[in-house]
Structure 1
Amino acid sequence: MPLIGRRGFVAGAALGVLGTGGGGPAGAAGSAGASGASGAPREAPSAGGGRRGRHATTGFRGMWIATVFNRDFPSRAGLTAAEQRAELIARLDLAVRRGMTAVLLQVRPTADALWPSPYEPWARCLTGVQGGDPGWDPLGTAVEEAHARGLELHAWCNPYRVATQTDRTQLAPNHPARLHPEWAVEYGGGLCYDPGLPEVRRHVQDAMLDAVRRYDVDALHWDDYFYPYPVAGAGFPDDESFRRYGAGFADRAAWRRNNLDLLVSETSARIKQLKPHVAFGISPFGVWRNASADPLGSDTRAGASYDDQHADSRKWVRERWIDYVIPQLYWHIGYDRADYAKLVPWWEAVVRDTGVRLYVGEALYKVGDPAQPAAWQDPQELVRHVRLAREHPGVGGHCYFAAREVAKDPLGAFSAVLADDTPRGV
């Protein structure tokens, strides 16, 4: 997701800063085998994004609610429990007014939690102090109030991000990255769990699945922060874990992709064992690979999740380890390096015959931003996106980043979308 004001660890390509691409080895998708990966091919749950499945008949329209940096909720740290609850309710009411079928609430922004987790401390965004008890249960309230309004609640988690700064003393004393300092590394101005450590993989699964186990969520949702976006001139510091666990892989990149394959496939299997009706969805960077690096890739010239983050999102779909995918197609129609009009059919082809649902991530946050190209100064750009998607039956809906922009409706662009678009089935 696009986060503002930080270096590559949290900004990177999601802001539209595109690399040259094709940096990894050529070859077919899934060339790095997921040794030991679990998760046999299966049919996705019948409901659109969970057991309520409101959009199974009406189409999906989702809204991300980001909590990191207090972006969308709460408006600032330190509000009273009553004030925070009122703000959350207002966001849910906004979603209803704007025709949403689902909200994707960020409940684990920096390896901390918006519920009383036995694995990780209370989130800093609530009180301003990581570990500080806010006096209420935001996730529990969100689930109850979303369902009362006919909305699905997707619990959005960041798997590996620990902090957006490197000072470990700012972490709560009981934070796992302080109790196990060897689990986290510094990179790009932040702290990140090392995906190469099996104990880390188990911990992040346990922490996220606690929300699935304890609450009636409709889905577990991940965004695009796996291995961090690359920082020029800096390699990710996993020499020791690669030395310990990398034997038998062609190279470090293949080993890293296997680490993420294991995280995805194991999480998928555990969700289905725990609550088969709960969906598992991921919102990856919009470019898997460029065709210049892989004939299976898209006609793009951009940073690529497979090469830059070691995230083989195409494989996760084709193996049916996930139930839905929301690629972040945060570019305008006609952009020469990553054309929205070329990426929609590419992703439609990826999900074909898999049962995995495809929704398109939309960059509402770019509309009206003077730093963006001219296309984003036109309130009809997102309307053109929706119209184009209608021509592709494999697209089941759209998801908008994020709640703040849905509320502000820059240039009236979202109102134009609503005026033009009726969810499918209505």
Structure 2
Amino acid sequence: MRKRKNFILPALTSLVLISCVIFTLCVYNRSNNAKALTESESMAADDGASSGITGSGSAAGPDSVTEPGSATSDSITESGNTEDNNIQNVSSSSSEEMRGIWISFLDFSSKGYTRASFTKHIKTMFNQCQKDNFNTVFVHVRMFSDAMYNSEYFPWSQYASGKIGRSPGFNPLSIMVTEAHSRGLKIHAWINPYRITKGTTSNSALAKSSYAYKWRNSKSPSLRRNVLNYGGQLYFNPSRPTVQNLITNGVKEIVRDYDVDGIHFDDYFYPYLGTDYKKNFDAQEYNSYVKKCRNNGEDAKSIVAWRRNNVSALVKKVYSAVKNIDSSCIFGISPAGNISNLYLKNNYYCDVKKWMGNAGYIDYICPQIYWSFKHPSCPYKKALNEWIDIERHKSVKLYTGLAAYRAGISSKEAALIGDKSWAKSNTILKREIIYARNTEEVDGFIFFDYADLKRRSARKEINNAIKLFT
């Protein structure tokens, strides 16, 4: 396990030179656990703030579904607290520091592209990323159980061709890999594993060739349970082995067929299930699990622990699949930034402490810490320190997701999100990078998202931040 580094005691050094006396004061506040950078007083005063799926990579009948391995349930102990420091030096970026940018499906047109128009669009985006000294692009390749490439398991994305299931006549992911690497950019394929639709449950939103459509409309009650209707949207059922294999096989084909540098999941896992979380969504599968445990004389997990185990089983399975194909390809996850929310009984079900504390789940974690230093309930420093305090396996890196989309917003917009500092400063992102670097525990940053690099009102804040990327 990797714990936070210790610090030396404060030291005072004086140097006398001929007729001048120069005092250099280096104050180090070392605790047993942490080094932290506080906000500089020289910063802005108000700132700171149907078929089944086999596990072998080919489609087969429902009787040939391969059961996924179960994840372990090791608990990880949190350690240490963080105290303030007044260190103001800025560590320069290292060659290995992650300086990433998310390129969302929102950065693509839902009307689709020709090969020429898509290539032009990608060149424009990647040129901007290169100009701003980012070194990695995280591109959306599966947004809604679809694909920005020719997939054996998922239909063509609307954001490639203009219509779900229709080929654009070219391969967007292949173009993106080529254009990224030609600029010295690394490229990670960004996937939403469970989400099928957004804001609709209509069959018209599904390609008839897709597993989502076939399962939802199957005569088999068992296959129909692979797709869940909840909150006006469709989701793959996280508890189903068939679903886990489908998602894993979709990852395998990307790593096998494209020279991507990584696979990336974000924060979309279980949806918020409300007060009836014990009765809805995949509760039917949980009840079957409890009955099976009773019949076998075994103790059943709580529904919360069971759901967390479902997600962890998928994460472990995907990690193994990636490494078995290409050991140099990395797999990581970007969960919501508030750890307390991740461990609620009715949402997410992400056991990030397990993933971070054990080998075999992820290569990195990138919490989305989208708040200023003065957010009333989850300020940046507090949130980041909580992530640093989690014991971390030596193989797992810690990145932070930063809110470029909040840069340069209006006072009204800042008030609506309850984080007024974003309207009063253009140095928040810069100071968040400085603070994170000075902990010596953070290995890089990912900005959300590309569109904000081009947004005029955000550029001053972003320019201040990317000056540190040299």
Normalised-by-shorter TM-score class = 0.7 to 0.9
Larger-gyration structure (1/2): 2
1:230 Cα deviation after fit: 4.0
1:239 Cα deviation after fit: 2.6
Name the counterpart of 1:297. Answer: none
1:35 Cα deviation after fit: 7.7
What is the number of residues matched between the two proteins? 358
Name the counterpart of 1:386. Answer: 433
Name the counterpart of 2:286. Answer: 242
1:306 Cα deviation after fit: 5.3
AA partner of residue 347 (structure 1)? W
Name the counterpart of 1:331. Answer: 371
For 1:365-380, list aligned pairs within 5 A: 365-369=405-409, 370-372=412-414, 373-377=419-423, 378-380=425-427
| Residues in 1 aligned to 2:320 and 2:160: alpha-carbon distance in whole angstroms | 32
Give the unaligned 5+ runs of structure 1.
1-33, 41-54, 290-302
AA partner of residue 402 (structure 1)? D
Q: Is the 8 A contact 1:317 1:354 kept in 2?
A: no
Name the counterpart of 1:322. Answer: 362
Q: CA RMSD in A?
A: 2.2
Pick from 269, 285, 308 the counterpart of residue 320 of structure 2. Answer: 269
Name the counterpart of 1:63. Answer: 101
Aligned pair in 2 of structure 1 residues 88, 263: CA closer, same or farther (>3 Å)? same
Taking every aligned residue pair, what percent have the same amino acid on both sides?
31
Name the counterpart of 2:389. Answer: 349
Name the counterpart of 1:109. Answer: 143
Q: Is the 8 A contact 2:113 2:162 kept in 1?
A: no
Matched residue SS, 2:196 = strand
Name the counterpart of 1:304. Answer: 342
Name the counterpart of 1:15. Answer: none
AA partner of residue 310 (structure 1)? Y
| 1:417 pairs with 2:465 | yes
| 1:96 pairs with 2:142 | no
Matched residue SS, 1:154 = strand
1:352 Cα deviation after fit: 4.2
Name the counterpart of 2:380. Answer: 340
AA partner of residue 413 (structure 2)? A
| 1:178 pairs with 2:226 | no
1:250 Cα deviation after fit: 2.8
AA partner of residue 281 (structure 2)? P
1:351 Cα deviation after fit: 5.5
User: Normalized against structure 2, the TM-score is what?
Assistant: 0.72
Pick from 202, 216, 225 the counterpart of residue 268 of structure 2. Answer: 225
AA partner of residue 214 (structure 2)? L
AA partner of residue 98 (structure 2)? F
For 1:395-406, list aligned pairs within 5 A: 395-406=442-453
Aligned pair in 2 of structure 1 residues 190, 152: CA closer, same or farther (>3 Å)? same
Name the counterpart of 1:18. Answer: none
| Residues in 1 aligned to 2:261 and 2:281: alpha-carbon distance in whole angstroms | 36
User: Normalized against structure 1, the TM-score is what?
Assistant: 0.79
Q: Is the 8 A contact 2:160 2:172 kept in 1?
A: no
| Residues in 2 aligned to 1:222 and 1:95: alpha-carbon distance in whole angstroms | 21
Give the unaligned 5+ runs of structure 2.
1-67, 75-92, 217-223, 294-298
1:210 Cα deviation after fit: 1.1
Q: Is the 8 A contact 1:193 1:200 kept in 2?
A: yes
| Residues in 1 aligned to 2:288 and 2:258: alpha-carbon distance in whole angstroms | 37
| Residues in 1 aligned to 2:73 and 2:329: alpha-carbon distance in whole angstroms | 15
Q: Is the 8 A contact 2:273 2:281 kept in 1?
A: no
1:305 Cα deviation after fit: 4.8
AA partner of residue 63 (structure 1)? I
Matched residue SS, 2:439 = coil
Deviation per CA, 1:139-165: give whole Å up to 9, x if none: 111111111110000000001000112
Q: Is the 8 A contact 1:104 1:153 kept in 2?
A: yes
